[in-house]
Amino acid sequence: MPGPRLLISLILALMLLPVVNTHAQERLCDTAFEDCRTPLWQLIDAETQGIDVGFWFMQDSSYATKLINRFKAGVPVRVLVDPRANPTYAGNEAVLNQLRDAGIPMRYKLTNGILHWKMMLFVGQNKLEFSGANYSGNFFVPDSPYVNYFDEAIYFTDDPSLIQSFKTKYDDVWTNTADYGNYANITGPLTRRYPTFPINPELNFPPTADFSQDFLTRTQQRLNAETQKIDVIMYRITNQGYADTTIAAVNRGIPVRLIHEPDEYRNLARQWDAWNMDRMYMGGVQIKMRKHLGLNHQKSVLLYGQGMTIFGSSNWTGPSSNFQQEHNYFTTKPWFFQWFVNQFERKWTSTTENEPFVPLPPTQPTYVFPANSAIAQATTLTLNWEGGPWAHKYDIYFGTSPNPPLYVANVSTFQSGAQAGQPLLDTGSVDDGVMESYTIPMTLQQGTTYYWRIVGKTMANQTATGPTWSFVTTGSVAPPAAPSGLTATAISPTRIDLSWNDVGGETGFRVERSPNGSSGWAEIASLGANQITYSDTSVTAQQTYFYRVRALNTGGFSPYSNVASATTPSPPPPSAGDIVLWAAEAPQRVGNWSVVADATAAGGPEHRSARMHRPIRQTISK
Ligand SMILES: [Ca+2]
Ligand SMILES: [Ca+2]
């Protein structure tokens, strides 16, 4: 019996232990700070009955060397591989050769959709290891704890139901001749090694014809069922369904936190990751990005209302949903959930491991057509440019001004999620080689210089503005149409007002006057564009004047308008106090004299003595 002191020490030690399974043989290993390779090495070294291995790639040859050692010691070893990883992952081919040359039986994935497993099963020890981590050094051992590591959680279990399920699934794949071929050292017919067990319903093995087992379908069901809070760590998010379901959760009041990988946000081979990230950002998902020096390759989801963890090999992508060979676990094991909660809180709170997400701008659009300063362009015209891998919407500035105005905003595509009524590109995509094009929906004027500028926008409305280019349309400018509806109105003995209807495309108007409407036309005014009234104050009383107007632009004059005429009225009779002179001829008048209609004025015709024959007056200011 231990003494009281030892007992207290034991209890304290138990209380200080990190969250562990009550089942002593299950554990999760955090690659941020733990060496998760040594326990796997130990399992390989200790196995005496049989080892089943499946992986996407293995760059760390230490696993291969240890597996070969056991194989040479008489332990049956089987390996499922995918040589399609060779071109991308240096060292994988050498490991496959190493295993093959040792005589280990190997089969490989033949059909489309990669083998994305990362698992080892140890028959004699009743142990299983699986995770999202590929068998390469950085995936299992940090270079520098919390500073330079790959985000992963490595799951070691002796849960009989999980081991039985993996045994059955492994035998299914091993004996599958439709999707898998013999890679090396297969002699005799393919046989199952184990009895066939039921698959634990918490496990998920895409691909499957059972639609309910589609990883997207299962994940969406759990996200839609959540009532409290969702935390996600996800390496790659290229499938719209996951993003939309996450945004929908935020919209019904469920907080969602997401830690993502910045290299995937700007992965030129995975452009739709940024589309989803920017949309989730706009949709209110709280997002942090890996800040440490390694890689966030983890795939885990925490559903607080359900106490559920979703963990495994599937990313939030189309291929991972129901195309690639995957293994995932939708489990409500409390210790498992709490372990991931603790891990998430540490990662989320740390200012050195992760940092708030800042949406990045797109690249500047590259113009293709029409070339800058091109001449003789058609008057119906399609602009062409390459908007790059990150822009999904465009503002198009277009017009005859050297600083063209916004012509159409947020032109997009249905692929990029254009809403009803939103203007659409003719063509366009962030996918490689798909050019953006937009046909200007009007006939352009001939012989005219047009200016255009494209602004690319991400789904988070970050922008990149292209240069301003110009082109000239074919032909010459046509003269404007003739002004119509000219009217002339005498306002006073010395003023006639004109007005007419505006025309399009003019740079100005010219007004002409004639004394008789047929000859003696003289230009009396030159007006600017859109000026459609004129007051002629160079007229005298009791005269009839004739007018016509024409418009002009760089193409020349329009035809003339109609001719309009007006007759100025008589001046008013003199009033008391006016001085009136009757003069037959008054060619030189000094001061403000004007002709009046009063034949009875002093010196007028009735007096017959004056030499002036028309009365004039000068108003006296009082
Ligand atoms: Ca494009
Ligand atoms: Ca006009």
Is the pLDDT at 268 greater than 80? The verdict is: yes
What is the Å distance from ligand 1's center to 412 Cα? Answer: 11
Nearest ligand (C-alpha, residue 500): 2
The lowest-confidence range among 135-139, 258-262, 353-357, 583-587 is 583-587
Specify the pLDDT at position 593: 65
What is the Å distance from ligand 2's center to 526 Cα? Answer: 14
Using DSSP, state whether 8 is helix, strand or coil. Answer: helix
- What value, to the nearest 5°, has the Cα angle with vertex 416 and ends 413 and 420? 60
What is the Å distance from ligand 2's center to 505 Cα? Answer: 6
Average pLDDT over every residue of 481-489:
97
pLDDT band at 610 (very low <50, low <70, confident <90, very high): very low
Specify the pLDDT at position 128: 98
What is the Å distance from ligand 1's center to 470 Cα? Answer: 22
* 435 CB-near residues (< 8 Å, 6+ apart): 368, 384, 385, 386, 427, 428
pLDDT band at 450 (very low <50, low <70, confident <90, very high): very high
The DSSP H or E segment spanning 622 is: none
What is the Å distance from ligand 2's center to 451 Cα? Answer: 21
What is the Å distance from ligand 1's center to 385 Cα? Answer: 8
Specify the pLDDT at position 589: 67
| Token pair listed for 216 | 């997207």
Identify whether the C-beta of residue 453 lies closer than 8 Å to the C-beta of residue 397: yes
Using DSSP, state whether 109 is helix, strand or coil. Answer: strand
User: How many of the other CB atoms lie within 10 Å of CB of 521?
Assistant: 17
Specify the pLDDT at position 505: 85
pLDDT tens figures, 511-555: 999 999 999 999 999 999 999 999 999 999 999 999 999 999 988
Is the pLDDT at 210 greater than 80? The verdict is: yes
Is the pLDDT at 458 greater than 70? The verdict is: yes
Average pLDDT over every residue of 37-65:
98
- Phi-psi domain of 325 (left: phi exceeds 0; alpha: psi -120 through 50; beta: other): beta
Is the pLDDT at 584 greater than 50? The verdict is: no
What is the Å distance from ligand 2's center to 521 Cα? Answer: 24
What is the Å distance from ligand 1's center to 460 Cα? Answer: 18
Instruction: Report residues near ion ligand 2: CB below 5 Å.
Output: 502, 530
What is the Å distance from ligand 2's center to 380 Cα? Answer: 23
Is the pLDDT at 1 greater than 70? The verdict is: no
What is the Å distance from ligand 1's center to 41 Cα? Answer: 48
What is the Å distance from ligand 2's center to 408 Cα? Answer: 23
Average pLDDT over every residue of 217-243:
98
Using DSSP, state whether 99 is helix, strand or coil. Answer: helix
Nearest ligand (C-alpha, residue 532): 2
What is the Å distance from ligand 2's center to 454 Cα? Answer: 29
Specify the pLDDT at position 3: 47
User: How many of the other CB atoms lie within 10 Å of CB of 525?
Assistant: 17
What is the Å distance from ligand 2's center to 555 Cα? Answer: 15
Average pLDDT, the chain: 92
Cα separation values, 46 from 23, 74, 124, Å: 21, 13, 9
Identify whether the C-beta of residue 547 lies closer than 8 Å to the C-beta of residue 498: yes
Specify the pLDDT at position 16: 45
User: How many of the other CB atoms lie within 10 Å of CB of 110?
Assistant: 15
Of 200, 175, 178, nearest to 189 by C-alpha is 175
* 204 CB-near residues (< 8 Å, 6+ apart): 213, 215, 218, 312, 314, 326, 327, 328, 329, 330
What is the C-alpha separation between 175 and 155, in angstroms, rounded?
A: 26
What is the Å distance from ligand 1's center to 391 Cα? Answer: 8
Give the residue ranges of DSSP H helices in 481-554.
none
The lowest-confidence range among 244-253, 407-416, 563-572 is 563-572
**pTM of the entire predicted model:** 0.78
pLDDT tens figures, 152-189: 999 999 999 999 999 999 999 999 999 999 999 999 99
Specify the pLDDT at position 573: 73
Specify the pLDDT at position 613: 56
What is the Å distance from ligand 1's center to 434 Cα? Answer: 5
What is the C-alpha separation between 23 and 126, in angstroms, rounded?
A: 14
Percent of the chain exceeding pLDDT 70 equals 88
Q: Residue type for 83, please? A: P
| Token pair listed for 140 | 């299992």
Domains and CATH numbers, the chain: 24-200 (3.30.870.10), 211-356 (3.30.870.10), 366-473 (2.60.40.10), 484-567 (2.60.40.10), 578-619 (no CATH)
Identify whether the C-beta of residue 277 lies closer than 8 Å to the C-beta of residue 287: yes
Identify whether the C-beta of residue 464 lies closer than 8 Å to the C-beta of residue 395: no
pLDDT band at 503 (very low <50, low <70, confident <90, very high): very high
- Phi-psi domain of 126 (left: phi exceeds 0; alpha: psi -120 through 50; beta: other): left
pLDDT band at 25 (very low <50, low <70, confident <90, very high): confident
What is the Å distance from ligand 1's center to 365 Cα? Answer: 9
What is the Å distance from ligand 2's center to 378 Cα? Answer: 24
What is the C-alpha separation between 112 and 128, in angstroms, rounded?
A: 27
What is the C-alpha separation between 12 and 234, in angstroms, rounded?
A: 36
| Token pair listed for 337 | 């959930």
Specify the pLDDT at position 302: 99
Specify the pLDDT at position 24: 55
What is the Å distance from ligand 2's center to 479 Cα? Answer: 12
Strand order in the sheet with 354-356: 203-204, 328-331, 308-312, 299-303, 230-234, 256-260, 286-290, 354-356
Of 59, 112, 56, nearest to 79 by C-alpha is 56
Handedness of CA 608, 610, 615, 619 (dihedral sign): negative
Hunting for tokens 């090396």 — which residue is that? Answer: 184
The lowest-confidence range among 119-123, 301-305, 587-591 is 587-591
